[in-house]
Every structure is written in C-alpha cells, then in structure tokens.
Amino acid sequence: MIIWIGLAGVLGALVRYSLGKVVSGKLGTAFPWATWVINISGSIILGMLYGGHQAGSLPDAMWVVWGTGFCGAYTTFSTFGYETLTLMGQQRQARAVIYVVSSVVVGILGCLAGVWLTA
C-alpha cells in the first residue's frame, strides 16, 4: 500500500504545482490565491473522501491512499505559514489576517461541503 500512497502523493504534488502556476498567472501574487485555492479545494476533496469512507462507499485502502497520499501532497500548510509571514513582513497585516481567517473558515466549510456532497 505504501507504493500506492507514494504514487498518489506524486500525483497530488504535480496537480498542486500545475494548478498553482495557473492560478498565480490568472490572479497574480499580491494575495496568495494559488495556495488558498489549492488548500480550499483540497479540503473539499478530503471532505468528499471522508464522507464516502464514512458512508461505506470508499474502502479503507482507498481512503488512506487518496486522503493521505493525494491530499497530503496536494494541500500545503507550510506554504500557508510562509506566505502569512511574508505578508506580515511586507507590512500587509490586514491581508495576512484575511488570508489566515478565510483559509481556516472556508477550509472547514469546504470540508463540510465535501462531506455533504457525498451524503
């Protein structure tokens, strides 16, 4: 199973990189939109996986492979922290607060929406 988790992780990292480039190209980098979009969509995906697993329609192995492998590599807490500190270092405290609060609140709502979508 560890190989499948690793392969799903490779896929998650590739999708994250590709989507990050697209989002940054379209929305710019004054606000960390790429990481925000990736983390929110990852929360929705993880919520859907969790909901499917809880409903019994997603086997344990698939939950572990996609939840740990793909979502673990796709979402990025370290970049979130780095970008928050960067905004603060640029004296953009309001943006940093908006980034942190919206990431947490919308991320949790996204996860709940994912669970709801699979119910």
For residue range 28-84, list pLDDT tens digits in order.
Answer: 999 999 999 999 999 999 999 999 999 999 999 999 999 999 999 999 999 999 999
**Residue 72 among known ligand-binding residues:** yes
What is the extent of the structural domain holding 27?
Answer: 2-118
Token pair for 73: 């590599």
- Residue-wise pLDDT for 77-107, tens only, equals 999 999 999 999 999 999 999 999 999 999 9
pLDDT at 119 over 90: no
**Binding residue per annotation — 75?**
yes
DSSP string, 56-93: TSS-HHHHHIIIIIIHHHHS-HHHHHHHHHHHHHTT-H
Q: How many domains does the chain fold into? A: 1
